[in-house]
Structure 1
């Protein structure tokens, strides 16, 4: 019954509610002591992915690789990704932070971009890393949208997950996309929604400049909420009939019971992005592999602690879980 009954997270006094715990790390955290080496890899469908490596040595690969998947409209450069990369390196692991299509600073080539259920690219990254450096172990970590992709990847077809993938730790995950897309549309969350919509609209405009015959932007500025945007763009651009179908198939919650490696899911109860449907307590209580931790505090992709070493609870907790009784 992997319901984690207690959590070790205690926010500092200045992070006194879920909104502050979400906003402060996003705006003011800096993780300068991470140096990436970028690799561009060509995908089988004629596109590309930009991978940012942080290896302990360029001569020999480490025994273990940690792969980090970022959140919606994020990138490998976001502080929460860099913080996890640094934690993985400090634990003695190589790290790979991959950028989704259109998220590395350059628009991707195809009409499709990325979506919250796109596990094929994660599988591609895992297999590329194994073929390039032949790691004995791979750990997966992810935040928010990246956590949803990670959980779906592990559960939708466990047989295709390489045996080298041993454990996973994900944070602030909207496991039910329909309810979370409605939840973030509430008045108190409008700041977050507007920021996401601003960058999503800009990417659609960039896409329309590249392929004007395929992307219609005439109603783009009228779209205010995720369901509207996803119905108009995300769903049809990625093979779904509607936002409803997209949410149904892309939500990781429906696949959690199929996961077959130890997996930690940490969702804070005061996360402003997550409604009750994103706390899969029933699944975790009946699973041998899905460990659900629900601290009272933490916000969304927050978990700051104000410690001298600059690490966050999410990073310490991930390393603790990933290295606990890891099979050889």
Structure 2
């Protein structure tokens, strides 16, 4: 029995009916990477972080722009940005319901070089903490929900579980987020490494070349990361060096979200697809016991959908369900 103070999220998402041409998880995933004609009317803010760096935040305000309009803080996945189709589509759908979207760009993800060597990792909550605190000051009467996609969901899971979110934070939604980083599918799976990794690595290489030029003391590590052909090599030469891990395996274990699910204390819905090639069922195995034991967490598992694909004949299955979820978080029903 769900506590009266916790909204019932079970049965909220409708069953996903996959068109036959997208039944393969890789095909569905590649569809998710395609640009969309949907454009969110963003207004950008350069947000200065306490360590002297910055991130770019994109606001999609509702038409009335009410100061107390509910806020969804959206966080993208590895190698992506606030301009990802899945975030812009959600932002436009939420705008129609008078909900503000605040789409964060992780460091360097807005394609501008940062001021420090720090990039991000699967549990880097520093910037989320500061952005949420900032929003509670600018919009003191607004409720806040969090929406994380892929690695963004892993980061937000760590945030709600290990930090102390302000009372305004009333919900977390993760979409196709790996609960474990220990299984390196980008390197170890033949098809994934050839179809999906090429969409991610060029961005990381570009960022590392910029770091090599801007930070001479990090040049050796940056150039090694810029030449990495595998995610493991990139993490060994950069993520581990910057964040103090001995080996990639230590980082992957420490940053896995399944370590902290038991500590989540805000209403949470986690969406998974069984044929997701980037957040595979094997990457979620350690999480199930903790998910089922935590009254705050609801898992929705679809048979198909790939990695954030969920292509539908109507074209908006994911956004329709995301809007329903956010309205449930905000008590707008």
1:259 and 1:38, CA in 2 relative to 1: closer, same or farther beyond 3 A? same
Structure 2: distance between partners of 1:326 and 1:61 = 15
1:220 and 1:118, CA in 2 relative to 1: closer, same or farther beyond 3 A? closer
Q: TM-score normalised to the size of structure 2?
A: 0.89
Deviations 1:241-289 (A, max 9, x none): 3222221221111111111111000110000112313252222221101
User: For 2:290, what is the secondary structure of its paired residue?
Assistant: helix
2:62 counterpart residue number: 56
Which of 184, 192, 201 is matched with 2:196 structurally? 192
Deviations 1:184-240 (A, max 9, x none): 531011221233222211211111011133221554465322222111111211233
Matches within 5 A, 1:298-317: 298-307=305-314, 310-311=315-316, 313-317=317-321
1:135 Cα deviation (Å)?
A: 3.6
Matches within 5 A, 1:22-41: 22-32=29-39, 34-41=40-47
Structure 2: distance between partners of 1:228 and 1:4 = 40
1:200 and 1:327, CA in 2 relative to 1: closer, same or farther beyond 3 A? same
Tell me whether 1:323 sits opposite 2:330 in the alignment: no
Tell me whether 1:209 sits opposite 2:213 in the alignment: yes
User: For 2:313, what is the secondary structure of its paired residue?
Assistant: coil
Matches within 5 A, 1:138-217: 138-157=144-163, 160-179=164-183, 181-182=184-185, 184-190=187-193, 191-216=195-220, 217=222
The answer to whether the Cα contact below 8 Å between 2:208 and 2:223 also exists between their aligned partners in 1 is: no
Tell me whether 1:238 sits opposite 2:234 in the alignment: no
The answer to whether the Cα contact below 8 Å between 1:62 and 1:93 also exists between their aligned partners in 2 is: no
Q: TM-score normalised to the size of structure 1?
A: 0.91
User: For 2:328, what is the secondary structure of its paired residue?
Assistant: coil
1:7 Cα deviation (Å)?
A: 5.4
Which of 247, 252, 263 is matched with 1:247 structurally? 252
The answer to whether the Cα contact below 8 Å between 1:56 and 1:94 also exists between their aligned partners in 2 is: yes
Structure 1: distance between partners of 2:329 and 2:61 = 23
Which of 276, 289, 293 is matched with 1:286 structurally? 293
1:260 counterpart residue number: 265
Tell me whether 1:66 sits opposite 2:72 in the alignment: yes
The range that moved more, 68-77 or 80-89, is 80-89
Structure 1: distance between partners of 2:226 and 2:212 = 14
1:57 Cα deviation (Å)?
A: 4.5
Indicate the RMSD between aligned Cα atoms, in angstroms: 2.2
User: For 2:217, what is the secondary structure of its paired residue?
Assistant: coil
Give unpaired runs (5+ residues) of structure 1: none
Deviations 1:161-203 (A, max 9, x none): 1110001111010110111x24653101122123322221121
